[in-house]
Structure 1
Amino acid sequence: MKEAIYLVLDMENDLVHADGPNGKAAYGEQVRGRRILENTRRALDKARAAGVDIGFVRVGFSPDYRECPPNSPIFSGARKAGIFKLGQWGTEVHPDLGKQDGDFDIVKHRVSPFYATNLEAILRARGIKRIYCSGISTNAVVQATVREGHDRDYEIVVLEDCCCGTSAEEHENAIKGLQRFCRITTSEEVVFE
């Protein structure tokens, strides 16, 4: 039984692809400038070589947005913008990351990948004790994963160079706030075990 998983958080086309709505805005600038896709692919290749489970976490809603909270400052604009619609190109994992059939798919309707998803069942069934994670944004899904994972007694490892926010300052502040709850490393330094 494997004891670790690498969770790749919200690396979907609507957020990180150069042709996506956020890829043309602040996120896209940070994704390209920090080489998030390349770094994440390096980490994924290392995790696969080590036999570590891979899980892709994606935010998405039904075509009628029935799960989308209307009063959420983060998600309320999704319906108007027509983004995060499941079954569409925008909610697919970025193609450069090489998603494979055996990878776990965790679809969430809120910031946290633990809330009302299949994640906890996967972790328990696989005997997972350590969660490696990265993605965007550092101050939303990455923070939620670290804090909630910590409180569920998982060892958490964040791959800092595979994360970003809408600005370098936002990312740096989020990483500083997480240091008490996890181990911080990079795609080059990480040893998946």
Structure 2
Amino acid sequence: MKSIYLILDMQNDLVHADGPNGKSPLGEQVRARRVMENTAAALSKARQAGIAVGFVRVGFSEGYPECPKNSPVFSGAPKAGLFRLGQWGTAIHEALEQRPGDVQVTKHRVSPFYSTTLEAQLSALGIERIYCSGVSTQAVVQATVRDGHDRDFEMVVLEDCCCAHAVEEHANSMASLARFCKTTTSAAVDFSS
């Protein structure tokens, strides 16, 4: 079964210690759960296993034309200057090595499947199983698992490579996803199976 490891929203605006969320509850959880270190370890294992790797980021063009004005998640981005494509904030964190040929997806909503090229890229690669992780668990991870499940992909979440704004939010999100995916960790995952 052909697989991909999709790394979700691990961009500077959300996970870098020097970014706008660095001192927020989300940033605290990224550090407390060692999400960056665990993700880097999982990424290394995926590369060694020879499976495809993909990076998803949320980003908006100059002037934020794609940004939904009434969204509780995104409507504050223009005023805060968040998620501007081509800027440091939308770059994937430097601890996660990107390579030519990696799947790259820019999204304008929570789900990486919505109005993006993700499904076409997965189809071209013959992907059947998606391993995924990222921030936050209650947003992009949930959306990816549910949308991937409904598109007939086998979904696997690397639990220790995810976090939310609070321990409880992460735990609740993982519990609600249990029916739609398998769960593993960066230490236990076997990308070659």
For 2:23 and 2:82, the matched residues in 1 are separated by 14
TM-score, normalised via structure 2 length: 0.98
How does 1:107-118 map onto structure 2 within 5 Å?
Answer: 107-118=106-117
2:76 aligns with 77
How does 1:1-193 map onto structure 2 within 5 Å?
Answer: 3-193=2-192
Q: Deviations over 1:65-90 (max 9, x none)?
A: 00000000000000010010000000
The residue type paired with residue 36 of structure 1 is V
TM-score, normalised via structure 1 length: 0.98
In structure 2, the residue corresponding to 1:31 is in which secondary structure?
helix
Structure 2 stretches lacking a partner, 5+ long: none
- The runs of at least 4 aligned residues of structure 1 exceeding 3 Å deviation read none
C-alpha displacement at 1:60, in angstroms?
Answer: 0.2
The residue type paired with residue 123 of structure 1 is L
Structure 1 stretches lacking a partner, 5+ long: none
For 2:46 and 2:32, the matched residues in 1 are separated by 24
Deviates more, 1:176-185 or 1:97-106: 97-106
For 1:190 and 1:35, the matched residues in 2 are separated by 17
Q: Deviations over 1:106-162 (max 9, x none)?
A: 000000000000100011000000000000000000000000100100000000000
Q: How many residues align?
A: 192
For 1:42 and 1:30, the matched residues in 2 are separated by 18
For 1:101 and 1:22, the matched residues in 2 are separated by 28
C-alpha displacement at 1:10, in angstroms?
Answer: 0.2
- What is the root-mean-square deviation of aligned Cα atoms in Å? 0.8
For 1:50 and 1:24, the matched residues in 2 are separated by 35
For 2:172 and 2:185, the matched residues in 1 are separated by 17
